[in-house]
Amino acid sequence: MLLRDEEYKRLKDDDYDDSPWTKEELQTLAWEAGKQAGWDEMPEDDVALANKTRSLTHL
């Protein structure tokens, strides 16, 4: 398959995602999987750090 240079660069870009899942959906799934694994019983400082990290990914 031949692509124009601009199209090839766009597809190779790290921000390109053809996944059916949005970033928010993937984060929610990961958060729920962590809770099922018992990670919701983290010490208070770890929970605050995890929440801060989650909010930073939405920037």
Tens-place pLDDT, residues 31-56: 888 888 877 665 565 666 666 666 65
pTM over 0.85? The answer is no
Q: Please tell me the distance from the alpha carbon of residue 5 to that of residue 3, in angstroms, as a whole number.
A: 6
Tokens read off for 38: 């018992």
Question: Where along the chain do its domains lie?
Answer: 22-59
Q: What DSSP string runs through 1-59?
A: ----HHHHHHHHSTT----SS-HHHHHHHHHHHHHHTTGGG--HHHHHHHHHHHHHTT-
Confidence band (pLDDT; 50, 70, 90) for 4? very high
